[in-house]
Amino acid sequence: MTKMDPKDVAAIAELARLECDDATLQTFARQLEDILTYMDTLNQLDTSEVQPLYSPVRHETAFRGDEVRQEYSREELLSNAPEADGRYFIVPKVF
């Protein structure tokens, strides 16, 4: 049984750059506890000798030469920017 209280959820949310109000923290805490408790069923299996499998890819990683190519124009790359000055992405001050 994994315990999860609203304070724990707030700490994870901080790491994930999310902000939740108190009611949402309460709801998430309850739901995450439920879900993680269900995940605990994996502990019934002894996997001490098992190599993890992170990807089903069956072929060798393909490498290519590290050559500079221009695939898109600056204008295209900036086209979805919430704020830009025609050359750069503009963001608020860092701190």
Partner 1 sequence: MTDWHTQTLTGVRDLLARRDIGAREAVQASLDRIQATEDRISSLLHVDAEQALNRARKLDELGPGQNQPLWGVPLVVKDVFTTKGTPSTCGSKMLQSFVPFYDAEVIRRLKEAGAVIVAKSNMDEFAMGSSTENSAFQMTRNPWDLSRVPGGSSGGSAASTAAGQTPASLGTDTGGSIRQPAGFCGLAGLKPTYGRVSRFGLVAYGSSLDQAGPMARTVRDVAQVLEVIAGHDPKDSTSAPVQVPAYTRALDHREDLRGLRVGVPAEYWGEGIDPEVMEACEQALDRIRDLGAQTVPISLPHTKFAIAAYYIIVMAEASSNLARYDGVRYGLRDSAAKELKDMYTGSRSQGFGPEVQRRILLGTYVLSAGYYDAYYKKAAQVRRLITEEYEQALTECDLLCAPIAPTAAFALGEKSSDPLQMYLTDVFTNPLNLTGLPGLCLPVGQGSRTKMPIGLQLFGRAFEEQTILQAGHVLEQALPPLPQPSALADLT
Q: What angle do CA 81, 86, 87 make, to 5 degrees?
A: 95
Q: How far is the CB of 76 from partner 1 (least distance, A)?
A: 4
Q: How far is the CB of 14 from partner 1 (least distance, A)?
A: 8
- Binding residues for partner 1, rule: CB under 8 A, are 9, 12-13, 15-20, 24, 28, 31-32, 34-36, 38-45, 47, 50-59, 61-62, 64, 72, 76-77, 79-83, 89, 91-95
DSSP for 69-90, please give it. ---S-HHHHHTT-SSB-SSSB-
